[in-house]
Amino acid sequence: MTTHGNFETDLISTSAGELCITFLGHGSLLMGFQGKNIFVDVFGEVADYSKLPKADVVFFTHEHFDHMDTKALVSIQTEKTVLVYTENCAQTLKGGIVMLNGDKQTVAGIPVEAVAAYNLVHKRPSGDPFHPKRSGNGYIFTFGGTRLYIAGDTENTPEMKALKAIDVAFLPMNLPYTMTPEMVADAALAFRPKILYPYHYGETDVSKLVGLLKGEKGIEVRIRKMS
């Protein structure tokens, strides 16, 4: 692990070169690969985006303000920036690529798959889920031969647990909106990512997840500043 400005950064070796992951905070990430800057879920409260590189691609998992901050986006967007998002995001941001759950695209030379992201258990007082089915995406990126999954705001859904050959996974753990540590552990044991980053974890105690997966060979839990 190194740093990029004030942010922690990890380097992941792939068959097509190094992938640099910068942990901006909350649900926000910056990935550098083959000279391209790929942002996921822009949120101005975790970073001064005016000091970050211009974006080649920006992915949005869903339309909530802490994932799709249009004011912060202005700082990194150029005429050439490609936006990828859900149908709900397209109501606010125009001109991007809409991906539905299950869709596959190649964006900036990188194969991408959209995975359903939604709540099964956690709901608002009205009884509506915090994240309804078909409203959000997770994304699987293939960098060389390395498959990286960023789950978005979701619980341990059947779609997530059925994933195969995931090398790196980012799973959310901010209660009550997404998963408990037990849910994250359940999902991780189902699809067995080689590296697991809990992210967007708010006040949730990440040590609980570490304890639940302690001694589990083949799954390395990495804790970074992603509250």
Assess if residue 113 is contained within a domain.
Answer: yes
pTM: 0.96
Closest to 24 measured CA to CA, from 34, 39, 36 = 39
| pLDDT confidence tier of residue 4, bands split at 50, 70 and 90 | low
Q: What is the CATH number of the domain that holds 113?
A: 3.60.15.10
Structural domains of the chain, count:
1
Assess if residue 227 is contained within a domain.
Answer: no
Give dist(CA 45, CA 225) in Å, integer: 14
pLDDT in tens, 82-125: 999 999 999 999 999 999 999 999 999 999 999 999 988 777 88
| pLDDT confidence tier of residue 60, bands split at 50, 70 and 90 | very high
* Domain extent for 208: 2-221
